[in-house]
Amino acid sequence: MKQYGLAARERIKSKRDFENIYQSGTTIQSSDKKIKAIYVVETDNLQPGVQVAVAISKRAGGAVWRNRFKRLIRESYRLNKTRLVDYCVEKKQTAKVIFSTGTLNQKNYGSLRLKTVMPGMIEVMEGIKRLI
């Protein structure tokens, strides 16, 4: 696994995984409520680590805004993933996480920047690490 990459095996793709996470997952939000995450931890996996996905409702904004938000979320995760991945590997667990918007939408935040998203992402990832 690359240190700063986001390989295909690190992404959640199957519909079954999405349904499982939404049904039995735990939700956590950043303190400013801009970003939230739903996660599930599995202990009986052969390959410990973290799998991620980004899901955004159409009510959050237009397609261009939603795609930019997804790119920024993936980038901020990619830059800070070693904190969470190393912890899960050490505990021999697999965490499956779906990131989405909390109160962030196009009406409130017309132009997104990485500095808007990054603190919330770090806080959510640290919260997941504490709760695992």
Residue that is written with structure tokens 């795609």 in the block: 67
**Inter-axis angle of helices 63-91 and 114-131, to 10 degrees?**
30
- List of residues 6+ apart from 111 with CB closer than 8 A: none
1 pLDDT higher than 60: no
Query: Cβ neighbours of residue 113 under 8 Å, at least 6 residues apart?
Result: 72
Domain map (residue ranges) of the chain = 8-131
Tens of pLDDT, residues 40-87? 999 877 789 899 999 999 999 999 999 999 999 999 999 999 989 999
Q: Which pLDDT score, from 0 to 100, does residue 19 have? A: 96
* 97-112 pLDDT per residue, tens: 999 998 888 998 888 8
Task: Report the topology of domain 8-131.
Answer: Ribosomal Protein S5; domain 2 (3.30.230)
pLDDT at 14 over 70: yes
Instruction: Identify the sign of the CA torsion 77, 15, 43, 28.
Output: positive
